[in-house]
Structure formats: C-alpha cells, structure tokens
Amino acid sequence: MNWSPIRATFLLPILVLAAAAQTPSNQVPAPPAAAPPVAYSSVSQLNLMLSQLEQASQAAQLDLAKLRIERWKTDSNTKRQEQANIESLQRNLQSALPEIIAELRLSPENLTSTFKLYRNLDALYDVFGSVVESTGAFGSKDEFQSLENDLTALEKSRRSFADRMETLAGAKEVELTRLRSEVRTAQAATPATAPKKVIVDDNEPPKKPAKKKAPAKPSTSTTPAAAPPK
C-alpha cells in the first residue's frame, strides 16, 4: 500500500519589531511601558493546543516503539534509513519538543517561541511522513493505520500553530503602527529648539597680540660708604 504525505506551505507574516525614535535633547526619555497582560482567552487557547500536541506526541512515541522494521520485506539499506528516522523522531519527541513547549508556556504570545514550535512541528511532519509511507509499503496494516492517525494529529497541531502565529503577527503589526503614530504625534508637539548661529566676519583685520612689558632692570648705582668715626 503506497501513501504519499501531503506537504503544505504557509506564508506567514513574521514581524521583527524594531522602532527607533530620536528623543529631543531637552526632553527626558520616558521609561519603557510594562508589557500588557496576556488575555485569558489567548492563554486558554494555547493551553488546549499544547495539551492536544502532548497527547499526539505520547501516542506517536508508543506507536513508533511498536514498529518491527526487521520484519519488513525490503532491502537492508531501506531498513537502516527508516530506523535512523525513527530514532531521530523519538529524540525530538522526548527532548526537543517538551523543551519548546515549556518555553512557550512561559511566554504565551512570544512570536519567536511560537515560530520555533511551528518549525519543529514542520520538521517532525516531514520525517514522520516518510516513516508512514515506508510503513504503508513494507509494514503491517495495523502499524500503518496507527502511524497515519499520529501523522494526522501532528498535522492538525501544525495548522493550529500556523493560524495562531498569523493572528499574533497581525496583532503585533497593529501595535507597532499605533506606537509609530504616537511617536510622530509626540515629536510634532515638541517645539523645535533653533540652533545658535555663530557669525564670522572675514573682513575684520586680525587683532595684533599685545606686547609684553620688559621686566625692570636692577639699579647699578652704589651707595656711598659711611665716613669712619674720628
């Protein structure tokens, strides 16, 4: 039974927020505003998505461990390649994925962490799809069906995080536009300080340096000696 995994490509606006505003010299820069709290609905949505992803990961690990590649009716090179893919998937599901999930839980609306999770799911999906395809061709029907269900769950999570990332990116873009507008308004309300002008008259003759007075010479006159007593 042959099966080809479907590859989906998402074009998502990943924003890098960098706003630089010049502060007038006579104005003290305002302290950075505290980050607004994350909405309860956003946290709840993320927790549900992460819980579903963790369940899919656990099921995938169990099904990968049940595979008996040594029984597949194929050449040894194919068996070694798929065994290496399975070990790579298991390392990711047991180590890398939980670390990224924990990072995202600490910062629910962080675009960088969200994209890191999506990118990891994308890599998992590609490798997992190759294993599912080989299992369908050389493994048992039960093995194939279990892995196909796991792949479907991973794809569902991947799409969900893609949609969330697009929503967060749109919100960040709106926030950046608002901040830029506030900066322009503040700059327009600040009176500009006229620079001081220094006028240089090229026609004015140069001033001569003042002559230094010579130091007074010591007197050379001698005082007559007193007459000796008679």
Q: What CATH number does the domain containing 57 carry?
A: 1.20.120.230
* The pLDDT value given to residue 105: 95
Indicate whether 226 belongs to any domain: no
What is the mean pLDDT of the segment spanning 41-54? 95
Indicate if the pLDDT at residue 12 is higher than 50: no
* The pLDDT value given to residue 16: 34
Give residue 173's pLDDT band: very low, low, confident or very high (50, 70, 90).
confident
Cα–Cα distance for residue pair 167/108, rounded to 1 Å: 13
Indicate whether 141 belongs to any domain: yes
Indicate if the pLDDT at residue 39 is higher than 90: no
* The pLDDT value given to residue 104: 96
| Amino acid (1-letter code) at residue 176 | L
Indicate whether 3 belongs to any domain: no
Indicate if the pLDDT at residue 205 is higher than 80: no
- Output 194 or 104, whichever has higher pLDDT: 104
What is the mean pLDDT of the segment spanning 110-129? 95
* pTM for the full predicted model: 0.64
Angstrom CA distances, 179 to 33, 68, 222, stand at 11, 58, 92
How does pLDDT run across 122-150, given as a tens digit for each residue?
999 999 999 999 999 999 999 999 999 99
* The pLDDT value given to residue 216: 61
CA angle 106, 110, 113 (to 5 degrees): 80
* The pLDDT value given to residue 8: 38
Indicate whether 152 belongs to any domain: yes
Indicate whether 135 belongs to any domain: yes
Give residue 215's pLDDT band: very low, low, confident or very high (50, 70, 90).
low
Q: Which long-range contacts (CB under 8 A, 24 or more apart) does 91-95 make?
A: 92/120, 92/123, 92/124, 93/57, 93/60, 93/61, 93/124, 94/61
Cβ burial of 149 (10 Å; 0-12, 13-18, 19+) is middle
- Could you list the residue range(s) of the whole structural domain that residue 65 is in? 42-189
Indicate if the pLDDT at residue 23 is higher than 90: no
> Do residues 53 and 101 lie in contact, with contact meaning Cβ atoms separated by under 8 Å?
yes
Give residue 211's pLDDT band: very low, low, confident or very high (50, 70, 90).
low
Indicate whether 54 belongs to any domain: yes
Indicate if the pLDDT at residue 1 is higher than 80: no
Indicate whether 209 belongs to any domain: no
Residue 134 DSSP class: H
Best-predicted range by mean pLDDT (90-94, 182-186, 195-199): 90-94
What is the mean pLDDT of the segment spanning 40-61? 95
Indicate whether 120 belongs to any domain: yes
Lowest mean pLDDT among 112-116, 130-134, 165-169, 214-218: 214-218
Indicate if the pLDDT at residue 18 is higher than 50: no
How does pLDDT run across 218-229, given as a tens digit for each residue?
555 555 555 555
| Structural domain count of the chain | 1
Tokens representing 3?
């099966």
